[in-house]
Amino acid sequence: MLSEIKESLNVNPYLTDDIKENILELVTIFNNQFPSVDLNNLVARLKTLKIEKGSKFVIKGLSKYNPIENKICIALSQLKDDTDCKHIMMRELLNVISASDTFTGFNNDHKYEALNIGYTEILANLLVGNESINEYENEVISAGLMLNLIGTDNVFNAYFKNDINIILNV
Top pLDDT among 4 and 82 is at 4
Give the mean pLDDT of 25-40: 96
What is the rounded CA–CA span in Å between residue 82 and residue 132?
6
List all residues 6 or more positions away from 91 whose beta carbon is below 8 Å from its beta carbon: 63, 120, 121, 124
Spatial contact of 9 and 24, defined as CB atoms under 8 Å apart: yes
The phi, psi pair for 69, rounded to 5°, reads: -90, -5
pLDDT digits (tens, 9 = 90+) for 102-148: 889 988 877 888 899 999 999 999 999 887 767 788 899 999 998 99
What is the rounded CA–CA span in Å between residue 34 and residue 123?
11
Question: If we measure between CA atoms, which residue out of 43, 27, 44, 47 comes closest to residue 35?
Answer: 27
Give the mean pLDDT of 151-163: 94
**pTM as predicted:** 0.89
pLDDT confidence of residue 136: 84
Query: Residue 96 carries which side chain, given as an amino acid letter?
Result: V
Rg (CA), the chain: 15
Least confident of 5-14, 39-48, 75-84, 92-101: 75-84
Give the mean pLDDT of 151-156: 94
| DSSP-based helix, strand, coil % in the chain, nearest 5 | 55, 10, 35
pLDDT more than 70, % of the chain: 91
What is the rounded CA–CA span in Å between residue 35 and residue 114?
26
What is the rounded CA–CA span in Å between residue 25 and residue 132?
20
Question: How far does Cα 121 stand from its chain's mean position?
Answer: 8
